[in-house]
Amino acid sequence: MKSVVVSRHALLPAQEQALRELGAEVVETCAQYDPDADNPRWKAQGVEAIFTVALPPSLLARLSEAFRVFTFDMESVGMAHDEEEAKAWCAQAPQTRSYLPAREGSLRLLEFRGVSELKIQIQTTRVWEV
């Protein structure tokens, strides 16, 4: 299936393997998603699926209206105090491990666990009325 990866980060080897085994033919990788520009362009290219790590719910909803949406499930497993510690931890399992700067000034340790397909259902409840 023709696919797009929306991510600001390079894919881990295990994520690339997952794409291959799921039959995803990646035709584009981009760091940001603009539904008004990207949806029509991707539809015209025959894109069927989008793979991402994290997007706001409103953007995921827009994506799911037009494509199958899959997420790379990244589990936060702790924090490293410095880059040397983070790199050493990643070196133990480079296929599945990564790290990112955290707001606290340390580094968040992440481990890739799998791929999930999202099924988004939006339900509204009126909470105020004129």
User: What pTM, to 2 d.p., does this model score?
Assistant: 0.87
Predicted confidence (pLDDT) at residue 120 exceeds the cutoff of 90? no
Kindly list the strands in the beta sheet with 97-101, ordered across the sheet, starting from the edge strand earlier in the chain.
25-30, 2-6, 49-52, 68-80, 107-118, 97-101
For the chain, which residues make up each domain, given as ranges? 2-79+112-118
Pairing relationship of beta strands 2-6 and 25-30 according to DSSP bridges: parallel
Q: CATH assignment of 2-79+112-118?
A: 3.40.50
pLDDT number for residue 106: 84
Residue 121's identity, in one-letter code, is Q
Structure confidence by residue, pLDDT tens digits, 79-89: 999 999 999 99
Predicted confidence (pLDDT) at residue 72 exceeds the cutoff of 90? yes
